[in-house]
Chain A
Amino acid sequence: MARVEAAARRPLPRTLGSELLENRHVLGGLSVSPALLLLGVFLAYPFFLGAWLSLTDARIAHPGRFVGVENFAYLWGDQVFRLATFNTALYAGVAVVLKLVLGFSLALLVNREFRGKRFVRAAMLLPWIVPTSLSALVFYWIYDSQWSVITWMLRRVGLVEGFINYLGDPNLARASLIAANVWRGIPFFAIGLLAGLQTVSPTLYEAAEIDGAGAWQKFWAVTWPLLLPLTVVVTVFSTIMTVGDFQLVWIVTRGGPANATHLFGTLAYQRAIQGGYIGEGAAIAGFMLPVLIVCVLLAFHYLRRD
């Protein structure tokens, strides 16, 4: 406090500059300008530039000219793009539901007093904390066709005779990637929902118990409705991140085998950065916008209600 008084007693120089800084509109505008400049140049501008590029035939070192919806029309008839659309829907749909169910279960499990609670709550966050590209490498190694530790364990207990080519079969590869994504996303749901659970007043459960409710009824009549807004927000965030996933798939399968695991992100990277078809890549990324808009509207609807 001493510092505060000292600062306050110092006579203020009354110049035009300091007068202006006392105006909250001037000071406010100045203060937000660094953030706005960064977001304007590197977020808003590329966002609209991307929309423009998707309507051009731009290629690397070719500025490109306006071609209307040609890229979108071409992609609509492209078998690989259709497969990527199916993959993205499957990947995001299955993974988000699994993460929600498992994350909610984990949150309910650790929302009580038990020995080692602090350790468990810290340890369960690890998959979310560590760099995804590095954990993706571990999954790449765990899914190795020859040295996989899962295969080794299955062979040890006699469930499997030969080897399993996790990333060589389309459906097995999809399942393997979904498992890795679920592994990474469970902590996000668990910790978000745990925070919500801790705000639920215990008296509500006591009242429900007096009315003779069992554990199952208490969950559906008390916990679920109270946590619904938070659940929706967490799910919306996770959906955006899962639909926009790139690194896990790119590191583990590169979209293979035979394009069976390509998502919008990996296909856009392959076509635009590796292939040089920038307009086409931007159009692929643009197909994510409808999902994004629905998610944003949902998030807003539930955040407003809070």
Chain B
Amino acid sequence: MRPSLAVRTLTFYLPLWVFLIFLLFPFYWMLMTAIKPNRDLYNLALNQLWTAAPVLQHFETLLWRTNFLPWLRNTLVISVGATALALLASLLAAYAIQRLRFWGSGFLGVAIFLSYLVPQVILFIPLAQIINRLGLWDKPTALILTYPTFLVPFATWLLMGYFRSLPVELDDCARIDGASRFQVMRYITLPLALPGILSCLIFAFTLSWNEYIYALVFLSSTASKTIPVGLATELVTGDVFQWGPLMAGALLGSVPVALAYSFFVEHYVAGLTGALKE
């Protein structure tokens, strides 16, 4: 028997709407604040949830009167660099551990999984010393080299799952035909694992883009900061809050990851759940 509309509304649509409003309201509020003129923003007599005359003044302030553009460039450089480095290392490691089954590969798989569980707050104090000693203080290289510590375990684990799903017989066939081990990897395994590699790429990029604590600790000058750190430290200026530009920045800083992920939402979900199930 199909439940009546009233029952379905109470047990399904109503809770679903409550969830959606709870989860999406902060984004709506971000957008509203970013496009409201200042005189409406700080006038509690008006309807706060809507604006009749949206403006772009906060975006103009953000782009031309703050360091947002340098931060954007820094964030891009660091995210791309860290992603490339981590992906290269993870691809080789995952392939070797999963397909070559060399001496010690089982132990290494477990060790890499364990390193995935070490939170950044345990590492940032000693890492700050290491970065200092290497002379990388306030340089993007500091982050490009340290972000792989949380990207590599994750990406390796995810890629191992993908490689495991590809039949070994394909490798064997190519080997019988005389391909070297490197050729097998280059021409057989990597092209077949492309969906997995893509979702790793998205993952690694968004994780680097979102990183906060290492960027807060290792970068000190205003111009060298990333978006997540720059907005929160430089635009929250004492008693004068620039809520409009701040929310405009939050919006612009969220768009790249939201876009990256929306194109690959299926891969993303598959990757995330795959990584959890492994």
Residues on A close to B: CB < 8 A? 3-5, 7-9, 12, 18, 21-22, 24-25, 27-29, 31-32, 34-36, 38-39, 41-47, 49-50, 53, 102, 105-106, 109-110, 114, 120-127, 129-142, 144, 147, 149, 152-153, 155, 183, 186-187, 191-192, 194-196, 230, 233-234, 237, 240-241, 243-247, 250-251, 264-265, 268-269, 272-273, 278, 281-282, 285-286, 288-289, 292, 295-296, 299, 306
Contacts and interface: CB of A to CB of B under 8 A. Distances in A.
B51 interface: no
Nearest to A233: B276
Nearest to B229: A133
Interface string B118-129: 111111111111
A27 B104 CA distance: 13
Contacts of A191: 269, 272-273
A39 B156 CA distance: 12
A289 B231 CA distance: 32
Nearest to B12: A109
Contact of A135 (B26, B90, B121): B26
A3 to B, nearest CB: 6
Nearest to A286: B122
For B12, B129, B177, the residue with the greatest tally of chain A CB atoms inside 10 Å of its CB is B129
Contact of A42 (B103, B145, B236): B145
A21 B206 contact: no
A281 to B, nearest CB: 5
A41 B12 CA distance: 51
Contacts of B112: 35, 39
Question: How many of chain B's residues touch chain A, expressed as a range?
Answer: 35 or more
A42 B127 contact: yes
Interface string B1-26: 00000000000100110011011101
A21 B186 CA distance: 14
Given A8-B177, A191-B273, A247-B213, A32 B97 contact: yes
A47 to B, nearest CB: 6
Contacts of A9: 178
Mostly, the A contact residues are helix
A32 B276 contact: no
A134 B231 contact: yes
A131 B20 contact: no
Contacts of B129: 49, 53, 278
Given A183-B26, A273-B128, A134 B250 contact: yes
Given A124-B23, A139-B26, 20 more contacts: A21-B182, A31-B95, A36-B108, A38-B89, A43-B118, A110-B16, A120-B16, A122-B262, A129-B206, A134-B227, A135-B250, A137-B232, A138-B29, A142-B29, A149-B29, A153-B49, A245-B121, A251-B232, A269-B213, A273-B128
B122 A288 contact: yes
B23 A123 contact: yes
A138 B115 contact: no
A254 to B, nearest CB: 10
Contact of B108 (A32, A44, A123): A32
Given A42-B146, A122-B262, A278-B125, A186 B23 contact: yes
B67 interface: no
B140 interface: no
Contacts of A38: 85-86, 89, 145, 148-149, 152
A134 to B, nearest CB: 4
Interface stretch (B53-61, B193-201, B252-260): B252-260
B90 A35 contact: yes
Interface of B: 12, 15-16, 19-20, 22-24, 26-27, 29-30, 33, 41-42, 44, 48-49, 85-86, 88-90, 92-93, 95-97, 100-105, 108, 112, 114-115, 117-130, 145-146, 148-149, 152-153, 156, 174, 177-183, 186-188, 206, 209-210, 212-213, 216-217, 227-229, 231-232, 236, 241, 243, 246-247, 249-250, 253-254, 257-258, 261-262, 265, 268-269, 272-273, 276-277
Nearest to B186: A7
Contact of A132 (B108, B212, B269): B212
For B123, B125, B127, B276, the residue with the greatest tally of chain A CB atoms inside 10 Å of its CB is B125
Contacts of A183: 22-23, 26
Contacts of B115: 39, 43-44
Given A27-B96, A195-B277, A288-B122, A187 B105 contact: no
A240 B183 contact: no
Nearest to B114: A296
Contacts of A28: 96-97, 100-103, 105
A88 to B, nearest CB: 11
A21 B121 contact: no
The 6 closest A-B pairs by CB, nearest first: A28-B102, A244-B119, A195-B273, A31-B96, A35-B93, A265-B121
B258 A32 contact: no
